[in-house]
A and B are shown apart, each in its own frame.
Chain A
């Protein structure tokens, strides 16, 4: 699809996105070294490789959120949306193309990160430890973890994109993301227990950690599947809202 290609080119030409990517690679290298140092003199095992990627899942999702937010807000900041709509007035298509391009970029980046983590971790294990415990599930765990991190990153990017599209502002989306994680999610936990199953934080945790126990009093397990469905539902609702409003609101 031409629209998706154009949006891909736009994303990949953006300096902000290139810069964010470099920042992330730096953070990821630092974290890997940190893990390595943290392990002290203990020999490393195959788990260092297979679970390595998951540790970055959260950080990568945060980065994806920021990239998504700037992808959604840039066109409004530069006020180029008006010009673009004179070339493609079908706004729903435009939104879908933008989200598709964004998801593709994030997914490819996630795979690259995953492979890099795996390779570096494998080197570390070769240097100090062994892969002897790698067992038959090693590859399945490794790719499964990678896929989880990838999916979470794509979710986060779309979240950022839709919030920035809704408010027509990158900064607002970033602020909203921060305020939600820092304040609202913590406040929600204080409310009746059933809400715990629906907070973003718990669902993300459950998604990344293959299920999690939520509810402080009487633990309830939140499965990966359930967390995935909840997160997808949130995104679908937000995206539908953003698209509907985009369709109806004036662009000036």
Chain B
């Protein structure tokens, strides 16, 4: 993070509680800090109800924060949103359109607001594979087709900042892959994509950086590799000819070793895998397989968000 590089999205100490008439108020965002730099794909993750959509709504000036500062392209939101709205494309939750209008008319009504050429509507429809159904009424669209129309709407402006809130919701596997490729290529071409999603496999494939939310707060943020490292246990699987000898050698050398079935050992808390190989080789034991046990985003996600949940319930019980 360079000193004078201005983040595309900056959120500082933001709180938001939904106050509802005669119902308990809902604390949606609770002291959120977040920074998204220019370019690439940023994954915005968190369990249901952790405040992702609320944050996106605040960034778009739809919902007013109770406290804290939000800025997009270095403009405070929502006051100076009109200056930059032309560079922001967004899909918030389920896309909604006039059911009795055709998909095309719905998009035209939006693109005309910004004075975009009609050609853009055709291009965007083409991009999401909806061109041949564009003249049908939205009422007759399937869930995935509505979702595609929503993505098309977000793409219309060729935005510099593309905010997508669960864009692949309801898409078929082919559709999920198409959108993944689309997001990846947009991110690579300089667009900043702010992507909220529950499909962690997708996120891991496509995102450069992520932030994980829990109870309206950011529990971890950084590059995907850094975030994975926070949970990395340094666990190795080792396959070697003489299992018993290897076990003794490694234990004696101070490694934490366990047998993993009849053919493998598991070594934990290893900082540098090469030390294991070296130790064994010194005693004439040659490793036939050495696999680091990888952590994936899902386990990090579950670990972090469940810790938080446990902490929160502990707080309430004590």
List the interface of chain A (C-beta within 8 A of B). 2-3, 5-6, 9-10, 13-15, 74, 78-80, 82-90, 248, 250-252
Q: Is B3 part of the contact surface with A, judged by Cβ < 8 Å?
A: no
A82 touches B96 (CB 8 A): yes
User: Which of B63, B85, B96 meets A78, CB within 8 Å?
Assistant: B96
Do A85 and B100 touch (CB < 8 A)?
A: no
CB-based contact B113/A84 at 8 Å: yes
Contact A85 B113 (CB under 8 A): no
| Cβ A80 vs Cβ B92 within 8 A | no
Residues of chain A with a CB closer than 8 A to B99's CB: 78
Interchain CA distance A78-B96 in the complex, whole Å? 7
A-B contact pairs, 28 of them (CB 8 A): A2-B112, A2-B115, A3-B113, A5-B112, A6-B109, A6-B112, A10-B98, A14-B98, A78-B96, A78-B97, A78-B98, A80-B97, A80-B98, A83-B110, A83-B153, A85-B60, A85-B62, A86-B90, A86-B92, A87-B85, A89-B61, A89-B81, A89-B85, A250-B63, A251-B57, A251-B63, A252-B62, A252-B63
Docked CA distance A78–B94 (Å): 12
Across the A-B interface, how many residue pairs have beta carbons closer than 8 Å? 72
Q: Which residue of A lies closest to B95 (CB)?
A: A83
- 0/1 string, B94-123, CB within 8 A of A gives 1: 011111110001000110111100000000
Q: Which residues of A contact B110 (CB under 8 A)?
A: 83-84, 87
Q: Is B88 part of the contact surface with A, judged by Cβ < 8 Å?
A: yes
B61 to A85, Cβ gap below 8 A? yes
Contact among A10, A89, A248 with B109 in the assembled complex (CB-CB below 8 Å): A10
CB of B113 within 8 A of CB of A88, answer yes
- A83 partner residues in chain B, CB cutoff 8 A: 92, 95-97, 110, 153
Nearest CB of B to A173, in Å: 19
Using Cβ atoms and an 8 Å threshold, which residues of chain B touch A88? Answer: 85, 113
Residues of B within 8 A of A87 (CB): 85, 110, 113-114
**B78: chain A residues within 8 A (beta carbon):** 89
Contact with A along B39-68 (1 / 0, CB 8 A): 000000000000000000100111110000
A61 to B90, CA, bound (A): 39
Residues of A within 8 A of B63 (CB): 250-252
Supposing A78-B98, A80-B98, A252-B62 touch, asked if A86 and B109 sit within 8 A by C-beta, the answer is no
Would A248 and B85 count as touching, CB distance under 8 A? Answer: no
Among B61-93, those with CB < 8 Å from A are 61-64, 78, 81-82, 85, 88-90, 92
For residue B81, which residues in chain A have a CB less than 8 angstroms away from its CB? 89
A80 to B109, CA, bound (A): 11
9 A-B pairs with least C-beta separation:
A87-B113, A79-B96, A250-B63, A251-B62, A6-B112, A89-B81, A86-B90, A89-B61, A78-B98
B117 to chain A, nearest CB (A): 13
CB distance from A201 to the nearest CB of B (A): 32
From 15 to 30 in chain B, residues with beta carbon under 8 angstroms from any chain A beta carbon are 18
Q: How far is the CA of A6 from the CA of B98 in the complex (A)?
A: 14
Contacts of B112 in A (CB 8 A): 2, 5-6, 9
Q: Complex formed: what's the CA distance from A15 to B98 in Å?
A: 11
User: Are B113 and A80 touching (Cβ within 8 A)?
Assistant: no
Chain B contacts for A10, CB-based, 8 A: 98, 109
B62 contact set on A, CB distance < 8 A: 82, 85-86, 250-252
**Chain A residues with CB under 8 A of B88:** 86
Give which listed residue, B82, B89, B96, B97, contacts A89 with CB less than 8 A. Answer: B82
Give the most central of A2, A84, A87: most B CB within 10 Å. A87
Q: Provide the bound-state CA to CA distance between A87 and B99, in Å.
A: 19
- Of chain B, the residue at the smallest CB distance from A250 is B63
A25 to B166: give the CA distance in the assembly, Å.
Answer: 47
User: Which single residue of chain A is at the shortest CB-CB distance from B93?
Assistant: A82
Given pairs A3-B113, A88-B85, 8 additional interface contacts (CB within 8 A):
A2-B113, A9-B109, A83-B95, A86-B62, A86-B89, A86-B92, A88-B113, A251-B63
Closest chain A residue, CB of each to CB of B89: A86
Inter-subunit contact B114/A82 (CB<8 Å): no
Given A9-B112, A13-B105, A86-B60 contact (CB < 8 Å): yes
CA distance A212 to B278 in the complex (A): 106
- Smallest Cβ-Cβ distance to B94: which chain A residue: A79
Closest to A10 in B: B109
Give Cα A80 to B98, complex, Å: 7
Task: Report the separation of the CA atoms of residues A120 and B81 in the bound assembly, to the nearest whole angstrom.
Answer: 53
Residues of B within 8 A of A5 (CB): 112
